[in-house]
Amino acid sequence: MSNVIRFVPEIGMLAFSRGMGTCKWATEWCREHCYFKKFYRMGWATPERDKKDNNFWRIVDSDEFVTAVKLEADFEPVPRFRFSVKGEIWLVRRDVEKVMLIMRGMPETLFWIPTRAWQSGEMADLIERLIFPLPNARVLASTDPTTTLDEFVWLQHRGWSVVFTGDNEDPGQLLLTPHGTQQKRTFGMYRCEKTWDQRSGHCATCDAGCFSPEQVEVHLKHHR
């Protein structure tokens, strides 16, 4: 069963995914520009594999999932783990509860979890209550150019770290608006070294950006 846990060289760590069919809160921009589409076209990702992954997630409990990760790692330490390279790990309450138990069962592992579930107030409340307090949680709200300023302010106020993609222009440029000039949304965001500097596998050792223990805003380069 452990072959659903996969090492992903591009990020340098083990990961689990549920497939694009689970993108419950994808925006129109996200659906149009999803970076993972190319992997389906190339045959590296398939609907059959997504179904297998989802079935695995539904039938295993947290202890069985932890065992699967450890088996895939040959019982070596697992410094970092990613939910979910493609798709959304959190669709309903029990998904959040299961991830919480998995994280408690692997306290030495940092769990990197970009998510769009923040767009549901109920899910955001649950994630904040069950996941945020865990010291090995690295949760980031996934955002794009359709995310409004009010939504960014809401996320910041509630303590969410943010990962943003969709604008590769100079963040130092000022925008001309009907009310004068203002800084671009990406001004001051941490530029992801993996995507901007093409440092494949850098996620495994990065101590800033997505893996900062503090609230952070990360700017990913948009691959066109």
Structural domains of the chain, count: 1
Per-position pLDDT tens, the chain of length 224: 458 999 999 999 999 999 888 999 999 999 898 877 877 888 778 889 999 999 999 999 999 999 999 999 999 999 999 999 989 999 999 999 999 999 999 999 999 999 999 999 999 999 999 999 999 999 999 999 999 989 999 999 999 999 999 876 766 554 445 555 556 777 788 888 888 778 888 999 999 899 999 999 999 888 65
CA distance 182 to 179: 9
Residue 10: give the domain boundaries.
2-220
pTM check: above 0.85: yes
